[in-house]
Amino acid sequence: MRVAGAAKLVVAVAIFLLTFYVITQVFEIKMDANLGNLFARSALDMAARSTKPPRYKCGISKACPEKHFAFKMASGAANVVGPKICVEDNVLMSGVKNNVGRGINVALVNGKTGEALNTKYFDMWGGDVAPFIEFLKSIQDGTIVLMGTYDDGATKLNEEARKLIAELGSTSINNLGFRDNWVFCGGKGIKTKSPFEQHIKNNKDTNKYEGWPEVVEMEGCIPQKQD
């Protein structure tokens, strides 16, 4: 009887040890798997962060060189969404800021510091061109001038207004017509024509919206005014 009891005890101990061994092995396997998954996720997260493209000022596609101001702008979309003007990561005009309107929207920026000086819009459909002309004449030398149309920016423009905008570096202003979309960045006292200008004609055969062409967008780096 004692031998049988001892044998049962040995078997019980053996079963316990075997069970304990199996459990520990399974636990280690799960721990290894969890650690492996953790390291794999960490590696993927690090890879994603390293491949994520950097964000530049105003969301432009590449960084500007030193002594340049980043800008990005868009014309209005039909008569529904207003234009947007951003300089050095500061949104100067937009529908969200509630400071845009039908006609030509204008933002003035200090050519040395990049700081906003003024923002205004002038209704070129139902308004008067005279205040716009006076505003253009008052712009100081060295000022960066950004303009974008919304709805219609041309009907009330006359020869004098177009000439003043051309002196800021525009080449398309003389061809700007009813409900054309146009964005422009120039400057008072500029000696050459500005490279920053986009213009799309209002054409019923190619318009994206009924009665209006598609939005025009533009981005770039404006050279800082030097003394």
Query: With bands split at pLDDT 50, 70 and 90, how would you rate the model's confidence at 175?
Result: very high
Whole-number Å distance between alpha carbons of 169 and 222: 13
- Please indicate whether residue 91 or residue 190 has the higher confidence score (pLDDT): 91
Q: Which long-range contacts (CB under 8 A, 24 or more apart) does 198-203 make?
A: 198/75, 199/172, 199/175, 201/177, 202/177, 202/178
Determine the pLDDT at residue 1: 47
Whole-number Å distance between alpha carbons of 39 and 89: 37
Q: Give the mean pLDDT of 87-109.
A: 97
Q: Taking 60 as the threshold, does the pLDDT of residue 2 lie above it?
A: no
pLDDT digits (tens, 9 = 90+) for 108-124: 999 999 999 999 999 99
Phi/psi of residue 48, nearest 5 degrees: -65, -40
Ordered by start, the domain boundaries in the chain are: 1-47, 55-221
Q: Give the mean pLDDT of 46-51.
A: 58
